[in-house]
């Protein structure tokens, strides 16, 4: 037990020292305005380098990602059908699809699916 505590303490001390040394060595000493600004063939940029991002597109992509993951969670229901009763399978499937439809209805009510507004 003593060897375990000693080795755990030694590993903790060594890893903490390594993180401390790497954070000290990796810090830049000064911030140069010229180096941190975008470079455009030696001239100052004409406009902002960042383009405006559509928040509506981001929300649609996020909703798609959530529903895509939830649909992927429906795939294991096929294996449940083989090992369980039909009533158990349909109750789980109906409950899961009900949650999906409730989420879709909520998003529709909130107006997140309205693209042209």
Answer whether 0.75 is exceeded by the pTM.
no
Q: How far apart are alpha carbons 16 and 42 in whole angstroms?
A: 43
pLDDT in tens, 35-92: 666 666 666 666 666 667 777 788 888 888 888 888 788 888 888 778 888 888 888 8
Domain count, the chain: 2
Q: Which residues lie across from 40 on neighbouring strands?
A: 43
Q: What does DSSP assign to residue 51?
A: P
Task: Note down the domain range covering 31.
Answer: 2-36
Same domain, 32 and 60: no
Using alpha carbons, select from 50, 74, 66 the residue that is nearest to residue 104. 66
In a domain, 42, yes or no: no
Please name the residue that has the structure tokens 């042209």: 116
Q: Binning pLDDT at 50, 70 and 90, where does residue 18 land?
A: very high
């Amino acid at each position: 037990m003593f060897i375990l505590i000693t080795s755990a303490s030694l590993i903790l001390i060594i890893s903490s020292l390594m993180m401390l040394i790497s954070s000290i060595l990796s810090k830049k000493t000064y911030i140069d305005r010229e180096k941190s600004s975008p470079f455009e063939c030696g001239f100052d940029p004409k406009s902002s380098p960042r383009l405006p991002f559509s928040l509506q597109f981001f929300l649609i992509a996020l909703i798609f990602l959530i529903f895509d993951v939830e649909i992927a969670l429906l795939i294991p229901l096929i294996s449940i059908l083989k090992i369980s009763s039909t009533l158990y399978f349909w109750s789980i499937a109906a409950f899961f699809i009900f949650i999906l439809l409730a989420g879709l209805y909520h998003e529709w009510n909130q107006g997140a699916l309205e693209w042209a507004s």
